Amino acid sequence: MNLTVAIPAHNDCASLLRLLRMLRALGCADQIVVVDDGSQVPLQETVLLDAAGLETGQLRLLRHETAKGAGAARNLALAHVRTSHVLFLDADDRPARALPWLLQDLAGQEFDFCLFQHHDTRRDAQGAFGQMPYDQALWDFAGLSLGACTKVSPFAAASLVQTSNYPWNKIYRTGFLHEHSIGCSEIPVHNDIELHWRSFLNGSRILASTHVAVVHDVAPDGQRLTNRTGSERLDVFIPLTRIAAEIQAKGLDLYLQPFWSFFTGLMHWVKSNLDPLLHPQLAQRISAFLAAHAPAELPGLPDARAAQRGQA
């Protein structure tokens, strides 16, 4: 297998250079595609190559003249991937030493995507290493706490689909994404939900690895573009509508309870990160979404409409 690392970047050249240097040191990327998503000071390919110690041809730089968001940037990068597999990383992510080991495990295997574990820097304050407890609990429930490159059963997939919707915790077969027209939603925030869920809904061979292959830095000052409280958060119903429709159209009953459990938790999270003046609009959107898509009964899960009433 050969691998492209696709990276959206916006006004964060220092973090991007750190990432590029780490990728060069690990020697695990055959190609790197960077999409400059409307940075105020445009990135320069020669500067990146020289500062990161990369050779000409290892890096391709693309640009949006105005910022369109990380989802649109990832989609543009994907359109230019020419390798068999692709890994999406954010500019402020850090590949771990286990990433080359993971690639060695995957060499010669057939898979649509491999979900792997990561370290979240919020765990540092607890003196712990690895994923946040709620993500790790889903791995444990799926029976995948030990071993590497385990083939994921349908039961395990229904658990793992509820993990955090990160774009950078999977290595994808490029053809799989193209065959099913899977990409990110081109909305300001929540753009990775569609990529994550539709991968699980369409994947016929999913692998999971306990290699901690990426370090996810969580900024303590909360100044990232995703830390928004405005009406753009209401665009979350765009990918949710597509996912709910696909589950229904394909009769994927195994994913009904995971999706609606995820939906309930997500709506609580959106509300807690939304300007209170927009709460009535959120409640209206939730009611309309439930009326259009929620099944009459969700076995083993409280009625979604009752859960919605608790959020209004």
Q: Using one digit for the tens of pLDDT, what is the confidence trace for 139-165?
A: 999 888 666 688 999 999 999 999 988
Q: Please, which pLDDT band fits residue 311 given cuts at 50, 70 and 90?
A: very low
**Cα→Cα distances 204→16, 111, 152, 227, Å:** 34, 8, 10, 34
Residue 18: per-residue pLDDT: 96
Helices (H), the chain: 13-26, 45-52, 70-79, 98-106, 133-141, 154-160, 174-179, 193-202, 237-249, 256-272, 279-293, 304-309
The model's pTM is 0.92
